Structure 1
Amino acid sequence: MYVSEQEVRAVLTYEALIPAIRQALIDYSAGRVNQPPRMILRAGNADDYRNGWFGVMPVVSGDVMGVKTVTFYAGNDELGLHTHMAIIELMKRATGEPLAIMDGRLITEMRTAAVSAAAFSGIAPLHFQSAPTSFGIIGSGVQARAHIDALKHVWPEMRDIRISSRNAANAARLADETNARAVTAEEAGAADVVLTATTSPVPVLKGSWLKPNALVIAVGASGASLRELDDEAMLSSYVIAEGRSSVERESGDVLLSGAKVKAEIGEILADPSVARIPRDQRVVFKSVGMAIEDITAARLVWKSIGRATNQ
């Protein structure tokens, strides 16, 4: 069975995905997921920033196993193409039977935002004295839009949405479409909660802009030599990882700043008492994307299509 992006879009919802991702993160931290490190190969198609990469992400979890193959080409923006594209193969764990092959671009988009939403729901009550209201976004691509959609499911108090981008026209367009404001990066960085969702190889968020108890959700610029947050932002923060080994291996924000990961989000979601998340210090949640998230979303799609077919 091949499942197109259009079919994925028709059945995959944040209402189902966020709680499923929450449980997947708990399972991962509890050691119930067999997930080796992501393998990344350079495409060699260019000598500059347009040089793409090809990643292979296998995982075994629950009653399924699978692999996502994903590509990232920063230069695709100039060609009117998506920068990230992916294919997911889903298999039955008990027998190895192929269950489905599906387009993984939208799944990657939605699961990334769903991870942030699950993390926010676990961190925010422990970190803020009262519910935050302002949301600053640095970046105006698919992840900026997806995070607004996903976080609304767990953050009803969100009121003031601020969007900053190196492309002012894109920021203004997204702001118009989401009832937000297009602002400078400094104003976005001064919100209660700040999302960085860019492909920048150098910091786009300065620690000097952040509130003393800001929550930063950093999802962009994955790679050991890339970073979105400067040293002050990282070193003044309590760092929580999506997956400790993945972030410590692949995040330039962590590696280049020397910041230490204090906790893993699955541990906090399972038992909030394991991490003493500070109320008077900044918190950074860093994610780089893991195969367990893709397979969790793919399983939801497969189950939903199966139910629809049997009706």
Structure 2
Amino acid sequence: MLFINQDEVSALLSMKSCMKVMEGTLIDLAQGEATQVLRSVVAVDDENVLGQMPGYLKKNGVLGTKVITVFPNNHKHGLPSHQGVVLLFAAKNGALMAVVDGSEITAIRTAAVSALATDKLSRVNSKILCLLGTGTQAKAHLEAMLTVRPIELVKIWSRNFQNANQFKEEMQQKFKVSINLCDTAEEAALDADIICTVTSSKDPILKDAWVKEGVHVNAVGACRPDERELDSELVRKSKFYVDSIESAQNESGDYLIPLKEGMITPNHIIGEIGEILMNKSTGRASETDITIFKSLGLAIEDIAAANFIYEEIVGRFND
């Protein structure tokens, strides 16, 4: 059994390699070759949760679960909001193969899936990126968006000015891209071609009035039925895609709240990203479509990423 730490995950799981792994995994899900159940969640003092996410990858011969805590206010204490591990087992005999740091996997695989959705759904000439939120996911999403689109300007907003300013300085040095720090979410969103919402907000931070025609949105932050980052009118006007329909119907406030309000119907979800990757679901039809990819994060994504890292390490041992 291997113990694989955060530094090893970061070194072995590049954004491009993770995108390739996620593409295969999401297609497997669409084809019934990967299975999972909805995450189970234990509430901890109202705002915080302990979650467990199990799944099985038939083609890879592995199964596993991610055990993770989500403490949204951890950034105030210099800690990540998501902390945990992925337990990787062999399907043939149930043996524990590896315990893998889950924080870095969560950051990379989430952004990699957003990159796949952006590559399929955003306009190919998208040049202005808006990031609402400047935490770990914002950093990963910046790299992911730069991987798939010719981004020339990044507009950022955060409720914490100090965090936003630090993000700007670090990311400009790392990626050599122009970054503008905005005073409001509205200012950041105006004129953007791609918008990534990566916050811990419980209430909408992105409104329809701020979004121009043709925008693609990756909504990543809210993952409970009573929380959302997008207002109902924006969801209503959009072509709406998800990583898992089952997950969205049970866990996504960005879908469930507009549904409860009567703003959308149950068939508002056009399809899963795996179906888009297989060209079995319709994508962007025009330059004016507003597309939204609602990401909740899937157990099979974590297990596939952990298995890729495990195989990379074992392969090096055998060379």
TM-score normalised over the length of structure 1: 0.93
Gaps of 5+ in 1: none
Question: Hey, what does 1:53 align to over in structure 2?
Answer: 49
Write the letter of the residue equivalent to 2:21. Answer: A
Question: What is the distance in 2 between the residues matched to 1:123 and 1:135?
Answer: 14
5 Å-filtered alignment, 1:145-184, equals 145-155=139-149, 157-179=150-172, 180-183=179-182, 184=184
Is the CA contact (8 Å cut-off) linking 1:91 and 1:99 kept in structure 2? yes
Aligned-pair identity (%): 34
Task: Please say if 1:225 is aligned against 2:226.
Answer: yes
**Structure-to-structure mapping, 1:10-49, within 5 angstroms:** 10-43=11-44, 46-47=45-46
- Following superposition, the deviation at residue 267 of structure 1 comes to 0.4
> Quick one: distance in 2 between partners of 1:13 and 1:67?
22
For residues 6 and 186 of structure 1, the distance between their equivalents in structure 2, rounded to whole angstroms, comes to 36
The yes-or-no answer on 1:93 pairing with 2:91 is yes
Q: Counterpart of 2:19 in 1: which secondary structure?
A: helix
Q: Does 1:265 align with 2:273?
A: yes
Q: Which amino acid aligns with 2:251?
A: E
Instruction: Report the Cα offset of residue 276 of structure 1.
Output: 4.7
Q: Look up the match of 2:79.
A: 81
Q: Distance in 1 between matches of 2:199 and 2:214?
A: 23
Over the aligned positions, Cα root-mean-square deviation in angstroms equals 1.4
Letter of the structure 1 residue corresponding to residue 188 of structure 2: A
Q: 2:169 & 2:293 partners in 1: Cα distance?
A: 28
Task: Give a deviation string over 1:283-305, Cα, whole Å, max 9, x none.
Answer: 11101000010011101110111
The match for 1:136 is 130
Offset of residue 83 of structure 1: 1.1
The 3-state SS of whatever aligns with 2:222 is coil
8 A Cα contact 1:162 1:181, kept in partner:
yes
Q: Which moved more, 1:133-142 or 1:179-188?
A: 179-188
Q: Which runs of 5+ in 2 are unaligned?
A: 173-178
Q: Corresponding residue for 2:8?
A: 7
1: CA distance, partners of 2:283 / 2:53? 32
Question: What is the DSSP-based 3-state SS (H/G/I as helix, E as strand, rest coil) of the residue aligned with 1:42?
Answer: strand
The equivalent residue for 1:293 is: 301
* 2:270–2:281 Cα contact (<8 Å) kept: no
Q: Secondary structure at the match of 2:36?
A: coil
* Counterpart contact for 2:121–2:283, Cα < 8 Å: no
Structure 2 CA distance for aligned equivalents of residues 154 and 281 of structure 1: 19
Other-structure match for 1:241: 242
| Deviation digits for residues 220-251 of structure 1 (CA, Å, limit 9, x no counterpart) | 02111101001111111110111111112111
Number of aligned residue pairs: 300
Are 1:239 and 1:285, in contact at CA under 8 Å, matched by a contact in 2?
A: yes
